[in-house]
Amino acid sequence: MDTSTLESQIRSDNYVTYESPYALYSMAISSATSHSSHRRIAVGSFIEEYTNHVDIVTFDEETLSIKPNPNLSINHPYPPTKLMFQPNPNLSGETLASSGDFLRLWRVSDDSIEPISVLNNSKSSEFCAPLTSFDWNEVEPRRIGTSSIDTTCTIWDIEKGVVETQFIAHDKEVHDIAWGEAGSFASVSADGSVRVFDLRDKEHSMIIYESPHPDTPLLRLAWNKQDLSYMATILMDSNKIVILDIRSPSMPVAELERHRGSVNAISWAPVSCHHICSAGDDSDALIWELLTVAGPNGIDPISRYSAGSEINQLQWSAAMPNWIAIAFANKLQLLKV
């Protein structure tokens, strides 16, 4: 991976920008390719009203352009907190999942987005506690795990449309969830802890990390798919990325502190176990290399890109390992790495 091209003043052929009619937050990159150089990207709006939007745009790597398709645009109840395409799409079309008031599945074809199902775990009401995030199990694609403000994580069998199991995962709201292997997942919460769960042992969980200051919420969790020993998390209103080794719980192996504002998003590199990208309120996207032992002054990023305003979202997808996607204001931007 050549990170030398990602500098504060990068050339115009190293980034591509799409401007949306509305503020953006969630986004997802498809692993399916309808054409060798075309890639679908879903973007979700952030409007403080009931009616929001999900649009699917197409990135052409040959022409370095991002184009919308009016047929691939839908209204979505509330801002989607997360979007994901199915990990292993089939030839008949692909599935997009979104979270917000419920977990929703959508069928995406070349010229339409159609609802498949709305998954509600509440037995007594047509309403359920809002979902903060979810993750799609790459090894068992029938499984999606959701996290909720009601302290639970729910594992869905989306093929049957039923709940496989539910965990009371934390003492407070659960902010994020990430799968490790087929039968294990981790979550972070407003109670300040990172916990790992095994579907074979529903009575116990392992606390990997707790915030140094009691009840400092943890907001996001990224599990390193290239080396499952490592995770990363971020704290609310903090410029710090905490790197954890699950073999040595409680003590971080590194704390990355070069952002000049709160960190909002993190993503491990999809093809290297030693690189992670972070982005935040300082408008910067930083790439870090975690090969060396930190010196007395900590670890410096190996590259920095400054966006136009606070970066809310970040994706570094195995479908496009040479591009990092960021969302800020009403813009989706792809950065060449």
Q: Tell me: the pLDDT tens digits for 105-114?
A: 999 998 999 9
Q: What does the pLDDT read at residue 10?
A: 45
Check pLDDT > 60 for residue 5.
no
For the record, the structure tokens of 91 come out as: 């030839």
Give per-residue pLDDT as tens, 258-278. 999 999 999 999 999 999 999
Using DSSP's 3-state secondary structure scheme, residue 12 falls into helix
Give the residue among 306, 316, 315 at the shortest CA–CA distance from 10.
Answer: 306
According to the model, what pLDDT value does residue 186 have? 97
The whole-model pTM stands at 0.93
How confident is residue 128, by pLDDT bands cut at 50, 70 and 90? Answer: confident
pLDDT reading at 12 higher than 70: no
For residue 310, what pLDDT is reported? 98
- Domains, in order of start, for the chain: 227-336 (2.130.10.10)
* Alpha-carbon gap, residue 162 to 117, rounded angstroms: 11
Q: How far is residue 282's CA from residue 295's CA, in Å, rounded to a whole number? A: 24
Top-confidence residue, 126 or 69: 69
Q: Do 148 and 167 form a contact (C-beta atoms < 8 A)?
A: no
The residue type found at 56 is I
Q: What pLDDT does residue 298 have? A: 86
Q: What mean pLDDT is reported for the chain?
A: 91
